[in-house]
Amino acid sequence: MSDRTASMLDSIRGKARSWLEAQWDPHQPLGEWWSNLAQSGWGFPDFPERWFGLGLPSESRRIVREELQRVGAFGPPHGIATMMVAPLLVEMGTDEQRQQWLPGIVDGSEIWCQLFSEPDAGSDLAGARTTALRDGDVWRVNGQKVWTSGGHYAKWAILVARTDQSAPKHSGLSFFGIDMRQDGIQPKSLVQMNGSAEFNEVFIDDATTLHTNLIGEEGKGWPVALRTLSYERESLDADAEPGIQTDLDLTIAAGRYASGEIPDGSEGFMPGGLEAWELLCSVIAANDKQNDPRIRDRAVKVYTGIKTSSWMSQRFAQAPEVGAEVSLGKLAATQLMRDWRDLALTALGPHGQLLEGENTFDGLPAQIALSVPGLSIAGGTDEIQRNIVGERVLGLPREPRPNGD
Amino acid sequence: MGDASLLVAFINVQIWLPTGNLWCMSEFSVALNDDQQQIKDWTHGFAEDVMRPAAAEWDEREEFPYPVVQEAAKIGLYGWEFLMNAGQDRTGLTLPVAVEELFWGDAGLGMAIMGSGLAAAGIAGNGTPEQTMEWVPQCYGDANDVKLGAFCVSEPDAGSDVSNLRTRAVYDEANGEWVLNGTKAWITNGGIADVHVVVAAVDPELKGRGQASFVIPPNTKGLSQGQKYMKHGIRASHTAEVVLDDVRVPGSCLLGGKEKLDAKLARAREAGKSGAPQPAMKTFEATRPTVGAQALGIARAAYEYSLEYAKERHAFGKPIIMNQAIAFKLANMITEIDASRLLIWRAAWLARNGGFTNAEGSMSKWKASEVAVRVTEEAIQILGGYGYTREYPVERWHRDAKIHTIFEGTSEIQQLVIARAISGLRVE
Ligand SMILES: Cc1cc2nc3c(=O)[nH]c(=O)nc-3n(C[C@H](O)[C@H](O)[C@H](O)COP(=O)(O)OP(=O)(O)OC[C@H]3O[C@@H](n4cnc5c(N)ncnc54)[C@H](O)[C@@H]3O)c2cc1C
Ligand SMILES: Cc1cc2nc3c(=O)[nH]c(=O)nc-3n(C[C@H](O)[C@H](O)[C@H](O)COP(=O)(O)OP(=O)(O)OC[C@H]3O[C@@H](n4cnc5c(N)ncnc54)[C@H](O)[C@@H]3O)c2cc1C
């Protein structure tokens, strides 16, 4: 890092700190606090100034996150909307779309979900069969989606649908924003391995969305979807904030979320970055294993993983553009979480099998163990990430595609 | 209830003890004989028809599955006669073969069926023939009135290291009674069992050699259930603390009898603090291949399911198994599963034919339990999003697998046992 960059980052930190110290008030209702953050630009400092940001480099996010933690403030909304939809709109949306959607995203009043995967099209997303047919000013949508996280409380969704049946697979798709709160859209919860029911099957029966909600051009939805997925992968690294925002009550004091008194959607997820390391150390110490050489050896491996992962994501944040390399970050994160889990469960012995009770750390390691397998599947499986790395990072020959598409 | 002469036979041919000398050695073969094959088919039928359909429900309910255990009792699968018959197989393979099938059906229900066996083994392994005849049948009851047994060794502060038990047994000369106090942790069927077998320290100074096993008869005052553990896996199997608060039992409840205990204590005092095997450990070492077989059953279930899935599921215009990333996973899974089974069968055979030399029982349990964890996790990965939901059974198999790396000696303890056996040194 050059001296200039370093001093720029220091100055960002200073400004963020003084703003937060002056503005953070734990008694303020969450909705007001989030609006305040959004209006000031400190919620999403890397967004353009015109769109609720400060036009700062993406590393500013990490700095602001550290400063938020320092004053004990609750962070900005965090979910599919902020990780994927907002950057996409900034990059590819129309001004009309940005005006329509960004305010509700940055102040957390409107939750988004992702209607991509289908029962027969997960890894092979381009095989999606849900259709959208033009009918005057609107598109009529029919089909079924699955694994839709947050579909039961989302206000909006991003949708991949087939708009041209006759075109080759990848060219017949279009990308839309669509209102989830309409009769034609019925989410049905699915219970996950960890016992929670965060994702859904979504049945779409003659739902409609305005033509102006088409993001990108008609028939050019595939590159938009790929772009969105790379934002998703970028945000699934080991530094990422845990979990995603659920339908939080915006009238409750922000401080009660910040203190963990009220669940905020991050429960049961591995904390990001060094917090994960600290938790692991507490687990090891509580079980009196800090002097066990085998445990220490594995702990060092986890620590190394956390640090390299974190440096890797900082490097991506500094890169002028996100590319296929983000798949490396996601792969590193899923492996790291497995190592973390295996070590925590070894240290805990039978207590690692319990979701409550003494020496279970409120069941957190057990919950993490039940969530870890999902991370190697969500947002593109490990195998698909490796294919991407092989083809797009290493430049290996492409996998043969049977339909030549 | 039962035929006493058969039970005496059971004592003689207990599968739990290396009894090779009593019989001529049997041939080791990986081809099952007719009897073994028949038992395999029979347990498989029960696993497929009764256990599989009930598995998700009992996992969800997280309570003891009496109706399923009763079904098992009706066909003679739950009962000491079954264990005894298995024990008569001189190759030792019958039990692991049957257990693999049961756990292929479901691990939680399988544990519910197998749980009483540990208590029965504790009694048969340490008790006199009379005690065995009296108490082992009471660990099972019959199909009309199912009874349970619980084997209580672990304590909150003595899990892996059972030589330092805090539960005390003190002899009350005046009444000829033993008085037990302490808390046992992680006990299968703890508190809901009819017969509890409790290992307690009589002379704590002597560590493992100062311990003895006691039968606590049904409805004994002072024995109660502490917290019930809400677990990740094998949720149909009940696990709880057992609290012993001035529990008084007649002298006849000391397994093996007082004379034998006094002699053992005297020998131990003479020899000083020795690290010779303790009663609990003896039970554990010989039951390890069976625990390995439990893990093996789970792993095989996950492997079979994901293999079928990988052949059916299409992505990018072809079955996903046509990707080496998936096909090689499956190749790896079956190779590890078969390797585990061979280790288990060898250990089970050795347990009946000459005994272990390099802790082969521990090897089999360690390998199979670790394989089960990895294989079930790979199975989730092969099923993708479906694998991560409770609508498909593979996530449950993964939850069920992990416990096998922990109970009856964690993976670390197995490695310790093996390391000591191969080196002859007391590796700490
Ligand atoms: C917790 C969680 C949350 C999710 N949230 C959402 C969401 O909000 N919105 C949404 O749209 N989706 C969501 N998903 C779905 C997720 O994106 C898909 O599950 C994932 O893309 C895999 O698709 P699939 O489940 O259909 O598996 P499949 O595509 O059927 O894959 C099955 C197996 O085959 C492998 N495979 C497939 N193709 C290849 C290949 N070419 N080479 C090698 N291996 C291959 C896969 O890696 C996998 O192991 C979520 C999933 C999870 C687990
Ligand atoms: C010491 C030595 C002695 C030998 N002696 C003899 C001999 O006496 N006579 C004789 O005929 N040969 C002999 N060989 C040759 C040996 O059999 C070949 O090296 C071997 O079969 C591999 O072939 P290759 O070297 O052409 O590697 P390749 O076939 O080019 O393989 C390169 C790599 O690609 C992998 N690979 C190849 N195909 C696939 C696939 N379909 N899927 C996934 N991965 C794949 C391989 O696993 C390997 O990692 C000897 C080799 C050695 C090292």
| Residue-wise pLDDT tens digits, A311-321 | 888 888 777 77
Predicted confidence (pLDDT) at residue B268 exceeds the cutoff of 70: yes
User: What ligand 1 atom has the least distance to the C-alpha of A123?
Assistant: 29
Judged by its nearest atom, the ligand closest to the C-alpha of residue B331 is 2
> With contact defined as beta carbons under 8 Å apart, do A62 and A314 qualify?
yes
> With contact defined as beta carbons under 8 Å apart, do B225 and B240 qualify?
yes
Q: How confident is the model at residue B20 (pLDDT cuts 50, 70, 90)?
A: very low
Q: Does B327 touch chain A (CB under 8 A)?
A: no
Q: Do A350 and B186 touch (CB under 8 A)?
A: yes
Q: ∠ CA A368-A373-A378 to the nearest 5 degrees?
A: 110
Q: Do A401 and B316 touch (CB under 8 A)?
A: yes
pLDDT of A34-79, one tens digit each? 999 999 999 999 999 999 999 998 889 889 999 999 999 999 999 9
Query: How remote is the C-alpha of B326 from its chain's centroid?
Result: 33
Q: Do A353 and B377 touch (CB under 8 A)?
A: no
pLDDT of B347-380, one tens digit each? 999 998 988 888 999 999 999 999 999 999 999 9
> With contact defined as beta carbons under 8 Å apart, do A270 and A278 qualify?
no
* CA–centroid distance, residue B99 to ligand 2 (Å): 42
Please give the mean pLDDT across all residues of chain B: 91
- pLDDT, mean of residues B229-238: 94
Q: What is the ipTM of this complex?
A: 0.88
Distance CA B326, CA B320 (A): 7
Q: Which residues of B299-315 are buried (b: 16+ CB within 10 A; e: fewer)?
A: bbbbbebbbebbeebeb
Predicted confidence (pLDDT) at residue B150 exceeds the cutoff of 50: yes
Q: Does B419 touch chain A (CB under 8 A)?
A: no
Q: What is the DSSP letter of B185?
A: E
User: What ligand 1 atom has the least distance to the C-alpha of A382?
Assistant: 47
pLDDT of B42-71, one tens digit each? 999 999 999 999 999 999 999 999 999 999
Supply the pTM of this predicted model: 0.90
User: For chain A, which ranges sit under pLDDT 50?
Assistant: 404
Please check whether the domain covering A112-225 is classified as CATH 2.40.110.10: yes
Q: Do A349 and B398 touch (CB under 8 A)?
A: no
Structure tokens at A162: 């087939």
Residue of B nearest to A117 (CA): B385
Q: Does A357 touch chain B (CB under 8 A)?
A: yes
> With contact defined as beta carbons under 8 Å apart, do B239 and B190 qualify?
yes
Of chain A, the percentage scoring pLDDT greater than 70 comes to: 98
Structure tokens at A51: 């769109």
pLDDT in the model for residue A161? 98
pLDDT in the model for residue B12? 46
Q: Do A294 and B231 touch (CB under 8 A)?
A: no
Predicted confidence (pLDDT) at residue B139 exceeds the cutoff of 50: yes
Q: How confident is the model at residue B285 (pLDDT cuts 50, 70, 90)?
A: low
A269 HSE (CA, 13 A, CB side): 22
Judged by its nearest atom, the ligand closest to the C-alpha of residue A147 is 1
Distance CA A19, CA A37 (A): 10
**Is residue B408 annotated as a catalytic residue, yes or no?**
yes
Domain A246-392, CATH: 1.20.140.10
> With contact defined as beta carbons under 8 Å apart, do B139 and B119 qualify?
yes
- pLDDT, mean of residues B231-247: 96
Q: How confident is the model at residue B16 (pLDDT cuts 50, 70, 90)?
A: very low
Structure tokens at A75: 């962070």
User: What ligand 1 atom has the least distance to the C-alpha of A383?
Assistant: 47
Q: Do B233 and A353 touch (CB under 8 A)?
A: yes
- A135, B64, B110, B199, B230 from A351: Cα distances, Å: 58, 21, 22, 22, 10
The SS3 call for residue B155 is strand
Q: Which residues of A251-277 are buried (b: 16+ CB within 10 A; e: fewer)?
A: eebbbbbbeeeeebbbebbbbbbeebb
Domain locations in chain A as residue ranges: 7-76, 112-225, 246-392
Catalytic annotation, pick one of B100, B101, B395, B408: B408
Q: What is the DSSP letter of B159?
A: S
pLDDT in the model for residue A90? 94
Amino acid in position A352: G
**Inter-helix orientation angle A326-348/A221-234, to 10°:** 40
> With contact defined as beta carbons under 8 Å apart, do A306 and A276 qualify?
yes
* CA–centroid distance, residue A376 to ligand 1 (Å): 9
Chain B residues in contact with A193 by the CB 8 A cut-off are: 380, 388-390, 395, 398-399
Q: What is the DSSP letter of B209?
A: G
Percent helix / strand / coil, chain A, rounded to 5 = 50, 15, 35
pLDDT in the model for residue B301? 98
pLDDT in the model for residue B284? 64
Amino acid in position B128: T
Of chain B, the percentage scoring pLDDT greater than 90 comes to: 78
pLDDT in the model for residue B2? 44
> With contact defined as beta carbons under 8 Å apart, do A374 and A268 qualify?
no
* CA–centroid distance, residue A115 to ligand 2 (Å): 46
Spatial neighbors of B380 by CB under 8 A, at least 6 apart, are: A193, A373, A377, B387, B388, B394, B395, B398
The pairing of beta strand B149-152 with beta strand B314-315: unpaired
Residue of B nearest to A189 (CA): B389
Select the residue of A193, A350, A357 nearest B406 (Cβ to Cβ): A350
pLDDT in the model for residue B13? 47
Phi/psi class of residue A267: alpha, beta or left (left: φ > 0; alpha: ψ in -120 to 50)? beta
Distance CA A110, CA A133 (A): 26
Select the residue of A354, A373, A402 nearest B317 (Cβ to Cβ): A402
Q: How far apart are the first and last CA of chain B?
A: 47
Q: How confident is the model at residue B21 (pLDDT cuts 50, 70, 90)?
A: very low
Q: Which residues line ligand 1 (CB under 6 A)?
A: A 113-114, 116-117, 122-124, 147-149, 199, 374, 377-381, 383-384, 387, 399; B 313, 315-316, 320, 323, 325-326, 381-382, 384-385, 388
By alpha-carbon position, which residue is closest to atom 19 of ligand 1? B385
CATH numbers and ranges of domains, chain B = 1-9+277-428 (1.20.140.10), 149-276 (2.40.110.10)
Chain A residues in contact with B230 by the CB 8 A cut-off are: 354-357
Residue of A nearest to B155 (CA): A350
Select the residue of A122, A190, A356 nearest B389 (Cβ to Cβ): A190
By alpha-carbon position, which residue is closest to atom 18 of ligand 1? A122
Q: Which of residues 132-151 of A touch B (CB under 8 A)?
A: 146-147
Q: Does A386 touch chain B (CB under 8 A)?
A: yes
By alpha-carbon position, which residue is closest to atom 31 of ligand 1? B384
* CA–centroid distance, residue A147 to ligand 1 (Å): 9
Catalytic annotation, pick one of A232, A234, A241, A325: A232
Select the residue of B160, B315, B395 nearest A123 (Cβ to Cβ): B315
Residue of A nearest to B412 (CA): A346
Q: Does B328 touch chain A (CB under 8 A)?
A: no
pLDDT in the model for residue B272? 65
Distance CA B345, CA B37 (A): 14
Q: Give the DSSP H or E segment for B169.
A: strand B168-172
Backbone φ and ψ of A307, nearest 5°? -65, -45
Residue of A nearest to B385 (CA): A377
* CA–centroid distance, residue B383 to ligand 1 (Å): 8
Distance CA A114, CA A88 (A): 13
pLDDT in the model for residue B355? 82
Spatial neighbors of A136 by CB under 8 A, at least 6 apart, are: none
pLDDT in the model for residue B251? 96
